[in-house]
Structure 1
Amino acid sequence: MIDVAKMSQETKACINACLDCHELCKKMVSHCLHQGGAHAEPGHVEIMLDCSEICQISAHFMLRGSPLLRRTCEVCAEVCDRCASECDRFDDERTNMCAEVCRACAEACRDASPVARAA
């Protein structure tokens, strides 16, 4: 387990971004299923579930100081980018917010990735 007090600012920011993205994508699944239509398409729901899960895993890997952290951050950034692109297909406030949170998480993961390489 990593000493959180000694964690870099990039890593702390990435953990917070991942947890925020995890929570929002998880909530968005329910929203999209209730919206129906294109919002409820399997591919759209699946990428949000993937995004939610990889964000949670990445945050946990950072908190534990996993030796696989760098690779997890890279995959997390890729999945978040894909989720943001998918959410950009829709023109409503909630999916726009989801896309923004996903992009912020992807950027935080890319910022933390060099830190993870040094770990």
Structure 2
Amino acid sequence: MQTANPNLTEGEQECLDACLAAVSVCEWCADACLDESGMAECVRLCRDVVDIASLHAHLTARNSPHSGELAELCASVCEACAEECSQHEHDHCQACAEILPECAEACRAVA
């Protein structure tokens, strides 16, 4: 269970939580896809989400004035990864395809 940051609005906290969920599922997906043939684009996009969403979570948690700018990029990367993952039937890809649109929506709400 995550602890709410009292310095964040409800929307910012939702975005932070969504980013952390995106990082977790994309780490799982990227790792699992390494064992699958033809999954290079999925791995690349998942790694992009991990990097961008984790950075956005850090900036949001410390109430950085730059987190809003990064929120839009995070939303775009999540959408691209969700689209790629939705094309694959693996459990880890389907988990990404389900969770990433929620992250994108939460990020856009604070962008």
Residue in 1 that maps onto 2:26 = 25
Residue in 2 that maps onto 1:112 = 110
Answer yes or no: is 1:77 the counterpart of 2:111. no
Gaps of at least 5 residues in structure 1 are: 114-119
Normalising by structure 2, what TM-score? Answer: 0.90
Larger radius of gyration: 1
CA contact (8 A) 2:8 2:61 kept: no
Residue in 2 that maps onto 1:37 = 37
The size of the alignment, in residue pairs, is 108
Measured on the aligned residues, the alpha-carbon RMSD in Å equals 1.4
Residue in 2 that maps onto 1:103 = 101
Query: Percent identity at matched positions?
Result: 31
Residue in 1 that maps onto 2:46 = 48
Per the TM alignment, residue 4 of structure 1 is displaced from its structure 2 partner at its CA by 2.4
Per the TM alignment, residue 92 of structure 1 is displaced from its structure 2 partner at its CA by 2.8
Say which of 64, 89, 92 aligns to 2:87.
89
Normalising by structure 1, what TM-score? Answer: 0.84
Per the TM alignment, residue 45 of structure 1 is displaced from its structure 2 partner at its CA by 1.0
Gaps of at least 5 residues in structure 2 are: none
Provide Cα deviations, 1:25-58, integer angstroms capped at 9, x if missing partner: 0121111112x1122x2x2211110011111000
Structure 2: how far apart are the matches of 1:6 and 1:101? Answer: 25
Provide Cα deviations, 1:50-86, integer angstroms capped at 9, x if missing partner: 0111110001010111121111000000000000011
